[in-house]
Copies of this chain bind each other. A is one copy, B any other.
């Protein structure tokens, strides 16, 4: 089985590559070839018996996907994206990478008759917005209040239509906020959600810019990777009338996150978190929905974290 991954040099991409190589198979078929695509060449994993190509590609250039699609991959994980702050700062870049490149990928599959190729794309909680109900479900409208979410919502529609027409076999996962991300804080508005846990666990200080009452819808990196793998295997017919849906995150307030940190790592860890309210970040993050009935994902066998404590414990375990 040949699997292609865009955004393969990113945090999720690298984890997904490792997970796929650890499993050695998808859908009962041995993994024989991996094509890793990113702007820069992705790190080449050790994997005897698996043919691995690491391609540094500008996916916005015409025909960029040609050589990859000519090899008829059975599964494509399309994770490459311009993230929310960058897409908001540069509309043309966001449209080119997030929308036009996805469309080119779909067209490339269509031209080559890759109707059985499973195309898995990562969408986002940022596709939601507007006058949302207290709890969202699988039929809540996407009314994104940012260009990134707009572009992802447009891709969802297009992938659904191409799948409905039998031109490709799409499956789009809307990802909750991923906690705990490894590494350093970044410019994402949600960066603090990892920081306030990761930094104290590393004996460093962190800043919490939002009220502790604020609720978020979160998922651990491990469960996101499990979901991506499952999305490569789930039967297309079972996906029903729409190919995109929200993954089962868990709803947790920032206060609960900090209390769980206290349970796992003690008072001194929590004392490392300084509360410095930031209205800009609070406005953005509190506009994201935090309560979902993710019946469709659960029916399809996608699983979330069971308790927030496990998310922290998994981070501690992986670090060791």
- Which of these binds chain B: A139-147, A247-255, A268-276, A311-319? A139-147
Q: Which of B138, B139, B144, B158 contacts A150 (CB 8 A)?
A: B158
Q: Tell me if A164 and B145 are in contact (CB < 8 A).
A: yes
Q: Please, which residues of chain B bring their CB within 8 A of the CB of A141?
A: 138-142, 242
Complex contacts, A129 vs chain B, CB 8 Å: 241-242
Q: Are A242 and B130 in contact (CB under 8 A)?
A: yes
- Write out the residue numbers on chain B whose beta carbons fall within 8 Å of the beta carbon of A164: 145
Distance (whole angstroms) from the CB of A98 to the closest CB of chain B: 12
Interface string of A270-295 (1 = CB under 8 A from B): 00000000000000000000000000
Counting CB contacts under 8 A, is A240 at the interface?
yes
Given A140-B141, A141-B142, A242-B143, CB of A157 within 8 Å of CB of B153: yes
- Residue ID in chain B nearest A148 by CB atoms: B161
Check A29 for interface membership: any CB of B closer than 8 A: no
**Contacting pair A150 B161 (CB below 8 A):** yes
Q: A133 within 8 Å of B by Cβ?
A: yes
Query: Are A160 and B165 in contact, CB atoms less than 8 angstroms apart?
Result: no
A154 located at the interface, meaning its Cβ lies under 8 Å from any Cβ of chain B in the complex: yes
Residue-wise, chain A 206-236 has the 8 Å CB interface mask toward B (1 for contact) of: 0000000000000000000000000000000
Whether, in the assembled complex, A132 has its beta carbon less than 8 Å from a beta carbon of chain B, the answer is yes
A46 on interface, CB distance cutoff 8 Å: no
Identical copies in the complex = 2
A131: B residues at CB distance < 8 A: 138-139, 240-242
Kindly report which residue of chain B lies nearest to residue A136, judged by CB atoms. B139
Q: Does A30 contact B (CB under 8 A)?
A: no
Determine whether A91 belongs to the interface, using a CB cutoff of 8 Å to chain B.
Answer: yes
A85 to chain B, nearest CB (A): 14
Most chain B C-beta atoms within 10 Å of own C-beta, residue among A91, A132, A154, A161: A161
Q: Which of A110-149 contact B (CB under 8 A)?
A: 129-133, 138-145, 147
Within 8 A of B (CB), among A36-82: none
A154: which of B139, B145, B158 is its contact (CB, 8 Å)?
Answer: B158
B143 touches A241 (CB 8 A): yes
| A–B Cβ pairs within 8 angstroms, 27 of them | A91-B165, A129-B241, A129-B242, A130-B139, A130-B240, A130-B242, A131-B138, A131-B139, A131-B241, A131-B242, A132-B139, A138-B141, A139-B140, A139-B141, A140-B141, A142-B157, A143-B160, A143-B242, A144-B160, A145-B164, A147-B165, A150-B157, A150-B160, A150-B161, A154-B154, A154-B157, A154-B158
| 4 tightest Cβ-Cβ pairs between the two chains A and B | A130-B241, A143-B242, A150-B161, A154-B154
